[in-house]
Amino acid sequence: MSKWKIRRANQQDVVAFVKSIDAAYSIYRTTIIDLPDVSDGVSEDIDQHFVWVVEVQKKVVGGAILAINGDIAHLKNIAIDPAFSGQGLGKALILFLEKECKHQGVKDIRLSTHVDMPNNIKLYGHLGWKETGRSGNKVHMTKDIYHSSV
C-alpha cells in the first residue's frame, strides 16, 4: 500500500482535486445521462465548507466536501481517482469524516447518491449508512454519528 495522508484542502489543490473527481466519475459519464457536473464549484466549496484531500506520495488523488449546519452534516461529494482504488482510501476517508463530524458536534451525516450507482449505495450500507428515501434519481442516506463508535 502506498503511503497516504488526509489533510484540509486549499486553493492550490483545486486543479488536482477536480481531476480526481472527474476521473472517479468518468466510468458513469456514458451510462448515467443525468449525472450533474460533480466537480463544479470546488474552489467555492474550499472557501465555504470543510474540504479534505487524500494525498498519495504528495499527490492529490481524491477528497471529500462536507457542509456542516449545526448538528447536521451533508456529504456533498467524495471521490477517489480509480487509479488508486483498492487501497482502502475511500473507506479511510469516510471514517475520517465521521470522526471529524463527531468532533464538530454533528449528530447525523447525510448524503445523496445516484440510483444508478449501486456499488456506492452498497459501500455506504456496509459502512453503517441507512437509506432514508428516494426521490427521482437520488438515493438519500444518513448515518447517526452521535451514537456511533467512531
Segment among 6-10, 24-28, 56-60, 80-84 with least mean pLDDT: 24-28
Give the chain's domains with CATH numbers: 4-144 (3.40.630.30)
Please write the tens of the pLDDT for every residue from 33-47: 777 777 889 999 999
Tell me which residue of 75, 80, 58, 67 sits closest to 129, measured CA to CA: 75
Q: Rounded distance, CA 102 to CA 44, Å?
A: 24
Please write the tens of the pLDDT for every residue from 88-111: 898 899 999 999 999 999 999 999
